[in-house]
């Protein structure tokens, strides 16, 4: 870590400082490269930025340098001209080799979305050949860690983007604040299916009723995962209160034993759909639900994009809710009472059932 910090500071000291400019003006035929996050939810929250650029300038070529997760979400998006796959799990030499190979392409604009400071990220921005480079103000944590301010980084022409008290879709759009792209009047998220991945969920859904409640059990961490005892209580009450509905549980395969027992207890009422590596499968399934109940995870943003009714479980962390709350769909929220960072635990199951019933009644009107 100390070596990386020293190397970054030396590199930043000796390289020529890029000329600072106040604004970048799109003309309409630029070739631009975007370096987005590699999380599924962030990729969906990133789609309004793509729309804003292409709506104003349809002939601009938008290219993405991204890892496996980003590629899986964005590969069918019609606003993207080309995706350059970068395996973020490969060695540093392999990654830098890929980036150096990309220097054959000369871009008019590069936009970096990362709020972190690292030697690798610095080299990545430095090596890509682009006339103008826009980056975000970095997180205070990383400025202190590397003892360098965002304004001192020499590899950007423009610093933009303020995430304070902003939904992340608006934060991403704020990276265009110092350009001539107009902000949209309303923000619409997009999720584009891969047709090949519809077959399995279509077959699964063909055996079920049209009135379906989905429960996504797992978040990114155990703190964002619904506990077994809560699942049992939620299922019991949902089934008793909503006799016309069947329930689909979306779960990680490691918990198959538990859910197989639950399925036996509720024959023809509870059905299991294991999570797969295909986010498009899960997306198609969510599109066909009357309601999805889920912890705060990427499923929230998939449901928002597909306008599926949503009951989301959040932590008490206000900042996290501001940045990642649902938009574009009918939804209700409940919050856990565990004060650990981003934990959804200890939520009120009675409140969850009440709000689920309210959303389902709207469906029946």
Q: pLDDT (tens digit, 9 = 90+) per residue, 289-345?
A: 999 999 999 999 999 999 999 999 999 999 889 999 999 899 999 999 987 777 899
Confidence of residue 163 (pLDDT cuts 50, 70, 90): confident
Burial of 223 (0-12, 13-18, 19+ CB in 10 A): middle
pLDDT for the residue numbered 341 = 72
Q: What rounded mean pLDDT belongs to the chain? A: 91
pLDDT for the residue numbered 363 = 54
Q: Is 213 helix (H, G, I), strand (E, B) or coil?
A: strand
Rounded to whole angstroms, the Cα distance separating 343 from 222 reads 8
Rounded to whole angstroms, the Cα distance separating 322 from 197 reads 32
pLDDT for the residue numbered 338 = 83
Rg of the chain over all Cα atoms, to the nearest angstrom: 22
Q: Where are the beta strands (DSSP E) in 207-359?
A: 212-216, 246-251, 270-274, 291-295, 310-314, 331-335
Judge whether residue 231 has pLDDT over 70: yes
pLDDT for the residue numbered 127 = 94
Count CA within 13 A, CB hemisphere, residue 151. Answer: 0
Residue pair 148/20 in contact (Cβ under 8 Å)? The answer is no
* Mean pLDDT, residues 75-97: 91
pLDDT for the residue numbered 362 = 58
Rounded to whole angstroms, the Cα distance separating 279 from 112 reads 25
pLDDT for the residue numbered 256 = 76
Judge whether residue 365 has pLDDT over 60: no
* Mean pLDDT, residues 235-259: 85
Judge whether residue 3 has pLDDT over 50: yes
Which of 21, 31, 28 shows the shortest CA–CA distance to 109? 31
Count CA within 13 A, CB hemisphere, residue 243. Answer: 0
Judge whether residue 361 has pLDDT over 50: yes
All domains of the chain in start order, with CATH: 2-174 (3.40.50.2000), 197-364 (3.40.50.2000)
pLDDT for the residue numbered 109 = 98
Residue pair 332/311 in contact (Cβ under 8 Å)? The answer is yes
pLDDT digits (tens, 9 = 90+) for 139-159: 888 999 999 999 999 999 999
CA 94 to chain centre: 26
pLDDT digits (tens, 9 = 90+) for 186-212: 899 999 988 888 889 999 999 998 899
Q: Is 63 helix (H, G, I), strand (E, B) or coil?
A: strand
* Mean pLDDT, residues 260-279: 86
CA 324 to chain centre: 9
* Mean pLDDT, residues 78-107: 91
The DSSP symbol for 270 reads E
Rounded to whole angstroms, the Cα distance separating 190 from 94 reads 32
Judge whether residue 24 has pLDDT over 60: yes
pLDDT for the residue numbered 1 = 67
Q: Is 294 helix (H, G, I), strand (E, B) or coil?
A: strand
């Amino acid at each position: 870590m100390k070596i990386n910090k020293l190397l970054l500071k030396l590199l930043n000291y000796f390289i020529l400082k890029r000329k600072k400019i106040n604004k970048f003006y799109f003309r309409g035929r630029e070739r631009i490269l975007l370096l987005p996050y590699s999380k599924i939810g962030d990729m969906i929250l990133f789609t309004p930025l793509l729309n804003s650029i292409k709506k104003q300038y349809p002939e601009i070529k938008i290219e993405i340098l991204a890892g496996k997760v980003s590629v899986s979400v964005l590969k069918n998006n019609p606003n993207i001209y080309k995706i350059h796959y970068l395996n973020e799990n490969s060695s540093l030499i392999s990654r830098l080799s890929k980036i150096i190979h990309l220097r054959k392409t000369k871009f008019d604009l590069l936009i970096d979305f990362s709020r972190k400071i690292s030697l690798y990220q610095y080299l990545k921005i430095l090596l890509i050949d682009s006339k103008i480079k826009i980056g975000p103000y970095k997180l205070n944590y990383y400025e202190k860690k590397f003892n360098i301010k965002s304004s001192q980084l020499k590899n950007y022409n423009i610093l933009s983007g303020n995430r304070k008290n902003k939904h992340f879709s608006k934060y991403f759009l704020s990276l265009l604040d110092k350009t001539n792209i107009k902000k949209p009047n309303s923000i619409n998220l997009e999720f584009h299916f891969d047709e090949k991945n519809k077959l399995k969920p279509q077959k699964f859904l063909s055996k079920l009723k049209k009135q379906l409640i989905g429960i996504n059990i797992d978040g990114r961490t155990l703190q964002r995962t619904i506990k077994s005892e809560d699942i049992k209580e939620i299922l019991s009450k949902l089934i008793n209160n909503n006799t016309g509905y069947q329930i689909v549980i979306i779960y990680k395969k490691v918990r198959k034993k538990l859910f197989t027992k639950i399925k036996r207890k509720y024959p023809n009422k509870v059905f299991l759909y294991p999570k797969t590596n295909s986010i498009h499968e899960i997306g198609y399934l969510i599109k066909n639900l009357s309601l999805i109940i889920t912890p705060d995870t990427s499923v929230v943003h998939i449901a928002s994009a597909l306008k599926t009714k949503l009951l989301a479980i959040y932590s008490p962390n206000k900042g996290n809710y501001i940045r990642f709350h649902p938009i574009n769909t009918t939804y209700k929220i409940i919050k856990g009472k565990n004060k650990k960072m981003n934990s959804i635990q200890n939520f009120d199951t009675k409140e969850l059932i009440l709000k689920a019933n309210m959303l389902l009644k709207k469906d029946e009107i």
